[in-house]
Amino acid sequence: MAERVFVNGNNVATFVCPKCGKARRTDVSKFTGMDKEIKLKARCGCGHSYSAKLERRKQVRKEVNLRGAVFDRGRRVPVKVENLSRKGLKLKLMNRTEFQVGDKVKVEFTLDDVSASKVVREAVVRKKFPGSAGVEFVTSEHYDKFGAYLLFHLG
């Protein structure tokens, strides 16, 4: 499995050797314009070689497994939230749905916090794949329990 390497705003990535823990910062600006996933072979000064995947997202994502639903044209479609960030969600679709990229939908899901807080947000479908979809929240302002969840779980 490839090590995730985060790229900062200056297009510099910090590679950390999984064997010895030594870190090395490298300019990766030549890869920032590419749309596809970037996997590299890294070699540490200790001699260890490993695979690295450049993570160019602007928002950190948290892998989750939360129950929820998408409301599309008055229809309730059950979903599982697979990951989340301040800006949106990746949804696993439990049923076939008719929504398309660009559609505005209402998303409802339950957090895995102590209160099992219910979150309801307006979102826009940004990506659609067989069996899954990526949605972006209409607003990235979260002043409710979801905001606190993001603060303490995403850092």
Residue 62: what pLDDT? 82
Contact 133, 81 (CB under 8 A): no
Higher pLDDT, 152 or 40: 40
Q: What is the pLDDT of residues 64-106, one digit of tens each?
A: 999 999 997 788 989 999 999 889 999 999 887 778 899 999 9
Residues 144 and 90 in one domain: yes
Q: Which amino acid is at 60?
A: V
Residues 40 and 14 in one domain: yes
Residues 34 and 78 in one domain: no
Q: How many domains does the chain have?
A: 2
Give the three-class secondary structure for 150. helix
* Mean pLDDT calculated for residue range 48-56: 87
Residues 19 and 44 in one domain: yes
The parent domain of residue 49 ranges over 3-55
Where b means 16+ CB within 10 Å and e means fewer, 4-43 reads: ebebeeeeebebbbeeeeeeeeeebeeeeeeeeebebebe
Residues 34 and 95 in one domain: no
Distance, in Å, from the CA atom of 13 to the CA atom of 29, rounded to the nearest integer, reads: 9
Label residue 112 by pLDDT band (50, 70, 90).
Answer: very high
In this predicted structure, the answer to whether residue 155 has a pLDDT above a threshold of 60 is: no
Label residue 117 by pLDDT band (50, 70, 90).
Answer: very high
Helices (H), 1-144: none
Residues 71 and 103 in one domain: yes
In this predicted structure, the answer to whether residue 2 has a pLDDT above a threshold of 60 is: yes
Contact 92, 86 (CB under 8 A): no
Residues 124 and 71 in one domain: yes
Q: Which amino acid is at 96?
A: R
Q: Please report, for the domain that includes residue 137, its CATH number.
A: 2.40.10.220
Work out whether strand 88-93 and strand 132-137 pair parallel, antiparallel, or are unpaired.
antiparallel
Residues 70 and 34 in one domain: no
Contact 13, 5 (CB under 8 A): yes
Last residue of a domain, one of 36, 55, 74: 55
Single pTM value for the model: 0.65
Residues 125 and 97 in one domain: yes
Residues 107 and 146 in one domain: yes
Question: Closest Cα to residue 135, out of 85, 69, 76, 90?
Answer: 90
Residues 98 and 150 in one domain: yes
